[in-house]
Structure 1
């Protein structure tokens, strides 16, 4: 999923924190909800302006961020 179509940063919106495009809903808020065990359906109920693809974009963004930040694994001798 290409999350760049749905996630934006604007210094004038939420202090530049990444948000769902056209909203003030931060990725931090949505990731916290997911980590608390909320389902996509729960989140959509709480934030009716969002779509399931918006939430999936947040997950994809987080996954890409982790991939970029993880150090390369050490190779253990045989």
Structure 2
């Protein structure tokens, strides 16, 4: 998981956390989704760095890529002619 995010059953019940912290990936993604800025998050969680936040975004993007089907892009479209 990027080497920055780990799962360990002995830490936060096995929920993904940032190495060396008890800050969960879920917490950071929720903060980002609610509109927190990088500065807000780093202020709230001083054990994190900007690289941790980028790792969270990469993790979310990779997860979305696995979970969401890729839409077929039509090669042409038909306009209604009135």
Same fold (TM over 0.5): yes
TM-score by length of 1: 0.88
- Structure that is richer in helix per residue: 1
Runs of 4+ in 1 over 6 A off after TM superposition: none
Segments of structure 2 that go 5 or more residues without pairing to the other structure are 77-82
Work out which structure has the larger RCO, using CA pairs closer than 8 Å and 6 or more positions apart in sequence: 1
| Larger Cα-atom Rg | 2
Equivalent residues, number: 76
Residues 35-74 of structure 1 show CA distances to partners (whole Å, capped at 9, x for unaligned) of 1110111100000010000011001100000001112324
